[in-house]
Structure 1
Amino acid sequence: MNVTATEVASQPDVWAQALDLADPGRRELAAPGERMLVLGCGTSWFVAESIAQLREGAGLGETDAVCASEYVPRRRYDRVVAVTRSGTSTEVLDALRQVPAGTRRVVVTAVDGRPVDDLSDARLLLDFADEGSVVQTRFPTSVLTLARAAFGADLTRAVEDGFQALRADLPADPADIDHLVFLGTGWTVGLAHEAALKVREAAQAYSESYPAMDFRHGPVAVAGPRSLVWSLGDVPTALDDVARSAGATAYRDALDPLAQLVLVQRFALALAAHRGLDPDTPRLLTRSVVLT
C-alpha cells in the first residue's frame, strides 16, 4: 500500500480527532454575525468554497471564498481565514500580507512553525491530519469535519459512513472509464471540484466538475460510454437520466458527502494503478508551491 492509500484509509479515525477541536473551531470559524473571507490554493481553495457555503447556510454571516492568488483587498471583512496544509504556499502568504490592519487573520494548517504563523492572529493546528503524500486527502476532509462541527452539525454519521466508504465497492471498473464528471450542489460543489482534482493529480485522467444543474448547459456534450458521472450530495436524480442518455454511467450513493469523497479518492488511486502510475509521486507536483 502506498502512502496516499494509507492516508486515505486513516480518515474516519482522523476525523474523530478533528472533532476534539470543535470549541476553538467555533470561536475562530463560526464567529456569528461577522463578514468572513476564506482563502486557499488548489485543494484548500475548494475547501474554502465549501466552508463559505456551510457557514452562510448555518446563518452565521456573509462568507466569501477566493483563490489566494486572486485576492485583492477591495471588500471589507471582519475576519480572513486561510487554509494551508504546509503553511508555506507563496500565494497564501502574499494574500495574508495584503489583509488590511484590524482584520482578524486565522490560519488553518497542519504544520507548526511555518512562515504563515507570523502572519496570523490565531491558528487552528491539525497536525494529526498532516500528510506525507503530495496529493491531499485527509487534511482537507479533516478541515471540513472541523468546520461542520463548528457550525453545529452532528458528525457521528459522517465518521460511520467514512468507514463504510473504505469497504464499499467502487462504482465502476477503472479499466472502463476514461472520463469523469463530478456534480455537486450547495457546499458539495466545492467537494465536486476537489474530487475532479484528485483524479487529475493521482491518475492524470480527464475529469471535470460543475454545479449539478449546469451539467445540461454544455458539459453533457462530451459525456459518452466511457464516462462516469458522479453525484455528490443532494444532486437532483433527474441528472442521472441525462448522463445515461449520453451513454455514460451515472453514480450516486446515500453516504455523507465527506464519505463520498473518500470513495472518490479510492477510485482515483485505483485508476492510477490501472494506468501504471504511482500516486505518491504525481507528475509535476510538489507538496507546496513556493515561488521564487
Structure 2
Amino acid sequence: MSMNDTLAEVASQPAVWRRTAELAARASRELGAPGERMLLLGCGTSWFVAQSIAELRESAGLGETDAVCASEYVPRRRYDRVVAITRSGTSTEVLEALRRVPAGTRRIAVTAVRGEPVDDLTDARLLLDFADERSVVQTRFPTAVLALTRTAYGKKDLELIVADGDAALAAPLPADPAEIDHLVFLGTGWTVGLAHEAALKVREAAQAHTESYPAMDFRHGPVAVAGPRSLIWSLGDVPAGLDEVARRAGATVHRDDLDPLAQLVLLHRFALALAAHRGLDPDRPRLLTRSVVLT
C-alpha cells in the first residue's frame, strides 16, 4: 500500500460521514434504546470511540452508559445491551469479552467487515463497510462511527459536520512538523475520548511523544514537560485560560472553531506530515497490525 492510500482515506472522511445517514435510524434503535443501561467495548481506537459515545449517550439523556477496554471487561454489572466496536470483527480481546457477557443481554457489533467471528457472538450489527480501510492506522472508520452516533442522538446536524470536515482538508496545518516533537491533546466531555484518539494517531503514524488529558488536568502536572517544541491542541470547548498556561511554557497552541470531529481530520493530516518529516511510512507502522489476533 502506498502513502497515497492513507492520504486518500483521510481525505474521504467527509464523504464517508455523509453516507452514515443511511444507518441513522437503525443506529438510533441499537445505540440509543432510551432508558436502557448500555456498555460499550473496544480496544485501542475503538475504546476511545466508546468513551466518546458513552458521554454523548448520557448527555443526551438516553441512559446510563459505560465504556470499558475489552481486555479489562469483567461481568460485574448488569447491562441491557453490550455494544462491541471492532473495525475488523476479529480482535481477540473483543471476542473474548463478548463471550463473557451474561446470557439474555442484547449484543451489538459495530464493524466494517461482514462475515467475521464477531457476527457469531452478537445479535445484530451496524455494518459500516463503506468506511472500511486498507490502513493499519484507523482514520475514517472511527470518525464515521462518531458521526453516525452524534446524528443518531440528535447532537449535531450531519451536514454541518461534513462541511467542517471539508474545511479541515483545506486548512493550513497548525505548525511546522519540523518544529514539533511533543504533542498534547486536551478535551472536555465527549472530546476527552477524541483527545486520546488523536494522541494515539500521532504515536502510531509518527512515533512522536504524545499525551492526552481532560483539559483542566493539564495544569495538574502535565504542563511540566511542555516546552518550545510542544504543540498543545484543544479539541472542542476547552477553557481558553489554558492557552496562556501553555504559552508560558513556550509551547505552540492550537484551537479553532471547527467541529471537533473535523479537527481530528486536521490532526490526521498533521500526523502524516510529521511522519513524512521523520522519514516514516505510516502505511507500515512499527510493530502494528490491522487487527490484534492472539494465539
Give ranges in structure 1 of 5+ residues lacking alignment. none
Q: Shift in Å at residue 150 of structure 1?
A: 1.2
The match for 2:93 among 91, 94, 113 is 91
The match for 2:102 among 100, 103, 127 is 100
Aligned residue-pair number: 292
Give ranges in structure 2 of 5+ residues lacking alignment. none
Q: Shift in Å at residue 255 of structure 1?
A: 0.3
Cα pair 1:88 1:288 within 8 Å, conserved: yes
The match for 2:23 among 13, 21, 42 is 21
Give SS of 1:38's match: strand
Match of 2:128 in 1: 126
Residue 223 (structure 2) pairs with residue 220 (structure 1):
yes
Match of 1:237 in 2: 240
Residue 218 (structure 2) pairs with residue 210 (structure 1):
no
Fraction of identical pairs, as percent:
81
CA distance in structure 1 between the aligned counterparts of 2:264 and 2:141, rounded to whole angstroms: 13
Give SS of 1:124's match: strand
CA distance in structure 2 between the aligned counterparts of 1:2 and 1:70, rounded to whole angstroms: 36
Residue 166 (structure 2) pairs with residue 163 (structure 1):
yes
The match for 2:191 among 185, 188, 192 is 188
Instruction: Please tell me the residue identity of whatever aligns with 1:212.
Output: A
CA RMSD of aligned residues (A): 0.5
CA distance in structure 2 between the aligned counterparts of 1:70 and 1:19, rounded to whole angstroms: 33
The match for 1:65 among 67, 85, 109 is 67
Runs of at least 4 residues off by over 4 Å: none
Give SS of 2:74's match: coil
Residue 271 (structure 2) pairs with residue 268 (structure 1):
yes
CA distance in structure 2 between the aligned counterparts of 1:275 and 1:80, rounded to whole angstroms: 41
TM-score by length of 1: 0.99
Instruction: Please tell me the residue identity of whatever aligns with 2:165.
Output: G
Instruction: Please tell me the residue identity of whatever aligns with 1:259.
Output: A
Q: Shift in Å at residue 268 of structure 1?
A: 0.2
Instruction: Please tell me the residue identity of whatever aligns with 1:27.
Output: R
Give SS of 2:174's match: coil
Give SS of 1:2's match: helix
Instruction: Please tell me the residue identity of whatever aligns with 1:235.
Output: V
Residue 272 (structure 2) pairs with residue 278 (structure 1):
no
Q: Deviations over 1:62-90 (max 9, x none)?
A: 00000000000000000100000000000
Q: Shift in Å at residue 2 of structure 1?
A: 2.4
CA distance in structure 2 between the aligned counterparts of 1:159 and 1:149, rounded to whole angstroms: 12
